[in-house]
Amino acid sequence: MGGPSAEREVSLDSGRACAAALREHGGYNVVEVDAGPDLAGVLADLKPDAVLNCLHGRWGEDGCVQGLLEWMGIPYSHSGVLASSLAMDKQRTKDVYRAAGLPVVESVIAAASNVRTSHVMAPPYVVKPNNEGSSVGVYLVGEENNGPPQLDDDMPEFVMVEAFAPGRELTTTVMDGRALTVTDIITTGWYDYDAKYKEGGSSHIVPADVPVEIFELCLVYALKAHDALGCRGVSRTDFRWDEAKGAAGLVLLETNTQPGMTATSLSPEQAQAVGVSFPDLCAWMLEDASCSR
């Protein structure tokens, strides 16, 4: 848990919550490891039977720590090297979605310097890093904006520019080869980092009150995305749905191979809704651990 990414604090929360849940479940000797440059040495000393990966963002979610664990022969949870790396690259994820017949919006990779000086596509559009999660570094450029976005200096050299998909924010978790349910995420504005993680930033309706056709499509699309990317364990796929367009208004945004794992996070909420308690969910993820994922 923890680690050096922009999502460090979220990862620490996930790790603490999962550790507490596993202790509550019983039967496990749980050690919490804040991942740093000495991670390989720490793991070599600990000699764990398995690793429950609660890292979010770069290095923990992009295949890096998965490669280390494969090298050391330590079974671990969630997706393997290839699926993790692929799903963390938003543009390549879209390529996989398209190949699998899944609906997405137009997007391009552009130099941040160009994005700062001119509109690289007609507004409204979204600018985001191509390989970060948790809505880190996301800019929404509306038609009413006077000009292109003034991106922060810490944005990467190249960014994704994506056509804005209007509508409701929906999400579906896949666990053990099954799409669990659909959540409707309610916010007063953009579903940004604060809306995701600060108290009162958003509310969740589980199961989502949407037409049966849309609900079923979310389940089908999430499982298809999970399989097309080669995910393992638990994943969560996010959607936008434009009600005015019906089924044609449902598009995939991204698949999270390391969803948030506090007791009130979206995936644990969905597991609870289908009868899987948070301690049981954590135990399942741990028991599902393996190498060569």
Q: Which whole number is the average pLDDT over 114-129?
A: 93
Closest residue by Cα to residue 257 from 218, 287, 230, 219: 230
pLDDT of 123 strictly over 80: yes
Q: Which of 11, 79, 84, 256 is catalytic?
A: 256
Supply the pTM of this predicted model: 0.91
Q: Which of 260, 265, 267, 269 is catalytic?
A: 260
pLDDT of 132 strictly over 80: no
- Distance between CA atoms of 4 and 124, rounded to whole angstroms? 33
Q: Which whole number is the average pLDDT over 184-203?
A: 62
Token pair belonging to 26: 């019983």
Q: Which whole number is the average pLDDT over 70-82?
A: 98
Which residues are CB-contacts of 84 (< 8 A; sequence separation ≥ 6)? Answer: 61, 62, 63, 66, 78, 257, 258
Q: Across the strands, what pairs with 255?
A: 237
pLDDT of 120 strictly over 90: yes
| pLDDT tens-digit series, residues 1-57 | 999 998 999 999 999 999 999 999 999 999 999 999 999 999 999 999 999 999 999
Give the phi and the psi of residue 7 in degrees, each rounded to 5.
Answer: -105, 25
DSSP for residue 56: -
Q: What is the pLDDT of residue 239?
A: 98
- Distance between CA atoms of 287 and 275, rounded to whole angstroms? 18
Token pair belonging to 196: 């995701």
Q: Which of 254, 267, 269, 288 is catalytic?
A: 254
Which residues are CB-contacts of 154 (< 8 A; sequence separation ≥ 6)? Answer: 137
| pLDDT tens-digit series, residues 83-106 | 999 999 999 999 999 999 999 999
Catalytic-residue membership of 256: yes
Q: How far is CA 66 from CA 16, 53, 73, in A?
A: 20, 9, 10
Catalytic-residue membership of 260: yes
pLDDT of 189 strictly over 60: no
Amino acid of residue 94: K
Give the phi and the psi of residue 158 in degrees, each rounded to 5.
Answer: -120, 140
Q: Which of 236, 249, 267, 288 is catalytic?
A: 236
Q: Which whole number is the average pLDDT over 118-124?
A: 93
| pLDDT tens-digit series, residues 155-187 | 989 999 999 999 999 999 999 999 999 999 998
Helix axis angle, 212-229 to 90-99, nearest 10°: 110
Catalytic-residue membership of 157: no
Catalytic-residue membership of 73: no
Which residues are CB-contacts of 29 (< 8 A; sequence separation ≥ 6)? Answer: none
Q: Which of 139, 191, 197, 221 is catalytic?
A: 197
Catalytic-residue membership of 28: no
Give the angle subtended at the CA of 19 by the CAs of 290 and 55, to the nearest 5°: 60
Q: What is the pLDDT of residue 195?
A: 46
Q: Which of 184, 238, 269, 288 is catalytic?
A: 238
pLDDT band at 193 (very low <50, low <70, confident <90, very high): very low
Token pair belonging to 33: 């490891």
Give the phi and the psi of residue 38 in degrees, each rounded to 5.
Answer: -95, 20
Catalytic-residue membership of 236: yes
Give the phi and the psi of residue 257 in degrees, each rounded to 5.
Answer: -85, -15
